[in-house]
Amino acid sequence: MSDTTFPKILITGATGQVGGKTIDYLRNYNGIEIIAAVRSPEKGASFEAEGIKTVVLDFDDESTYAGALEGIERLFLVTGYTVDMLRQSKALLDAAKKAGVQHVVHLGACGRDDATVAHWAWHQLVERYIEWHGFSYTHLRPETFMQNMLSYGGKKAIENGVIKAYVENARMSWVDVDDVAQVAMLALVDPEKHHGQTYRLGYDALSFYDLAALMTSIIGKPFTYEPQAPEVFLEAMISSGAEMAYMSCVYEHYKAYAADKIPGADDTFDNFPALTGREPVRWAYFISKYKSEFDY
């Protein structure tokens, strides 16, 4: 239990897209205490300046876990893109159980329950571990983030109207990061309502050819899609020194997308209005909202 009159909510991944936006939504609620987990005091300076408490939590340093989790009642678990997410999640959840955390909202990955894409399956194993520990829980499974088309890996995703991707003509399910964060916020604010739920979050299914046509129509300039072989991605990751256990999985799932071998790759869902009281963001709105960033 919290040692204050308000339940303490710890947000991991606070400096990332989903974690940061979740904090923005949580600010609108009274009766809770938001705590942002950061890797160093320096990274917490901007939160502290805005009146949000921070704690140091380094996934790679288990000595930081106990202090960060002290008094926490609800945890938003957001891990990084390496195979270490498995060890990190287990260790942090073990520490959370000892600390008395009650409710865990986990940011997972795409896929049906029988998904065999490796890094999607890893997240489902974390889901089962959360359940095994006896936490109250909410599992979030977002589909592909629309924001990936703005930038990816710190680089602009579309150059001079040319979209490059590694999935041939596969249709993919998409979701706005803001919509994922809103559902995360709701699950953290009202654990009793959302306990035991797995929410798959994807609301528009388009191929990259479809996206190019839609951008051309809305922005009024030509956009084209140039499919790339998945091997191009793999070579780029090797050259950049990326963590290859994870990136090899991404390579394999790009190959599976391109070969149309992922069941439910374009699944979409109707749960968002019931959860939030509004319609989810779809691509036409997203392109219009970020028209100036897509323009060239």
Question: Considering the domain 8-142+177-201+268-280 in this protein, what is its CATH number?
Answer: 3.40.50.720
Sheet hosting strand 8-11, strand order edge to edge? 53-56, 33-38, 8-11, 72-77, 103-107, 136-142, 197-201
**Mean pLDDT within 88-99:** 98
**Other C-beta atoms within 10 Å of 63: how many?**
7
pLDDT > 70: percent of the chain: 99
* pLDDT value at residue 1: 41
What is the structure's pLDDT at 167?
97
Host H or E run for residue 17: helix 17-26
- Name the residue among 70, 177, 14, 200 with its Cα closest to residue 124: 200
Q: Which residue has the higher pLDDT, 155 or 231?
A: 231
pLDDT over 80 at 267, yes or no:
yes
What is the model's pLDDT at position 155?
85
d(CA 112, CA 110): 7
State residue 2's pLDDT score.
43
